[in-house]
Amino acid sequence: MSYETILVETRGAVTLITLNRPKALNALNTQVLADLTQAFAAFEADPAQRCAVLTGSGEKAFAAGADIKEMADKPAADFFLEDFFAGWTSDLVKKVRKPWIAAVNGFALGGGCELAMMADFIIAADTAKFGQPEIKLGVAPGMGGSQRLTRAVGKSKAMEMCLTGRMMDAAEAERSGLVTRVVPLADLLEDALKTAETIASMPTMAAMINKEMINAAYETTLDQGLLHERRLFQILTATEDKVEGMNAFVDKRAAQWKGR
Ligand code: CAA
């Protein structure tokens, strides 16, 4: 399948998706959303694919935000009537049950930062810069930044970043818990793909359920989350991979996963 604005390739059980509008610093327009939605749906539907990596083409940007040129002359009523950004904030993330990683290779601003935060976790290049500079355009985050950034780095830092529009460098992003680790730009893709391969080598249902459990922590009370976790754990005990994984441990041999 070919796409207008992204590149998609498979490497074993890992799908690599690259935002590919380098001249516009990979700005996110309606076509990018359509392409990403289709690519993630194909990833989700293919049982041979078990983890994905999303990155940006070029060395400068992961994505410098929603496409300002697409929004500049759009009438306000159209934003409302089209429910602009709805596809980004709900459909794209919630329909992907398999794990995926954002490999942030430069600017991740506005919608770019928001898209990275939709990933299950972020690995950042030492050149990465994160920010929600929408205020400088007279607006505010629209793809989840006010919610996900606040949950990731806390109210004080999220508030300061959104109110001043300042960028956070990779070191600060790691200190603040926004990214899992920082690696040199030259090593970013290799590191992200290797991590994705490790995840892809795990039993599929256990990976999907670990993801679901952790995401539930954002959306519920502690009591409900603990119950949800316990029930999902109990469901996993019904899988062939649970029997194999525990027997392999007892027999002191490597597990042979079946993915079910
Ligand atoms: N939308 C459309 N085009 C963009 C863009 C964006 N978000 N960001 C960069 N570009 C384009 C520029 O217009 C420029 O195109 P031309 O060569 O045709 O002029 C090209 O990418 C290169 O950009 P610059 O010349 O500006 O590069 P720079 O190195 O001088 O600056 C930058 C880099 C600091 C990232 C700067 O491009 C910038 O500030 N970009 C906008 C960042 C921003 O405001 N993002 C938020 C967008 S709104 C949003 O995302 C809403 C939401 O919540 C979803």
Q: Where are the domains of the chain?
A: 6-201, 204-251
**Would you say domain 6-201 falls under CATH 1.10.260.30?**
no
- The proportion of the chain whose per-residue pLDDT surpasses 90, expressed as a percent, equals 94
Whether 6-201 and 204-251 share one fold: the answer is no
What is the CA angle 228-51-18, rounded to 5? 125
User: Of 6, 51, 28, which Cα lies nearest the Cα of 108?
Assistant: 28
pTM, full prediction: 0.95
Using CA positions, which residue lies closest to atom 14 of ligand 1?
Answer: 24
Report the pLDDT averaged over residues 105-118. 97
pLDDT of 258 > 90? The answer is yes
Task: Give, for ligand 1, the residue of 25, 36, 167 to mutate: max count of ligand atoms closer than 8 Å to Cβ.
Answer: 25
CA distance 150 to 220: 16
* Residue 39: partners with Cβ closer than 8 Å, 6 or more residues away: 1, 3, 6, 8, 15, 17
Instruction: Give yes or no for residue 32 CB within 6 A of ligand 1.
Output: no
The predicted pLDDT at position 94 comes to: 74
Distances (CA, A) of 194 to 14, 42, 159: 9, 21, 34
Q: What tens digit of pLDDT does each residue of 14-42 get?
A: 999 999 999 999 999 999 999 999 999 99
Instruction: Give yes or no for residue 68 CB within 6 A of ligand 1.
Output: yes
The predicted pLDDT at position 93 comes to: 75
Give the residue numbers marked as catalytic.
66, 111, 114, 134
Q: What tens digit of pLDDT does each residue of 193-219 get?
A: 999 999 999 999 999 999 999 999 988
Report the pLDDT averaged over residues 173-179. 98
CA distance 140 to 209: 33
The predicted pLDDT at position 74 comes to: 94
What CATH class does 204-251 carry? mainly alpha
Instruction: Give yes or no for residue 25 CB within 6 A of ligand 1.
Output: yes
Instruction: Give yes or no for residue 145 CB within 6 A of ligand 1.
Output: yes
Using CA positions, which residue lies closest to atom 4 of ligand 1?
Answer: 24
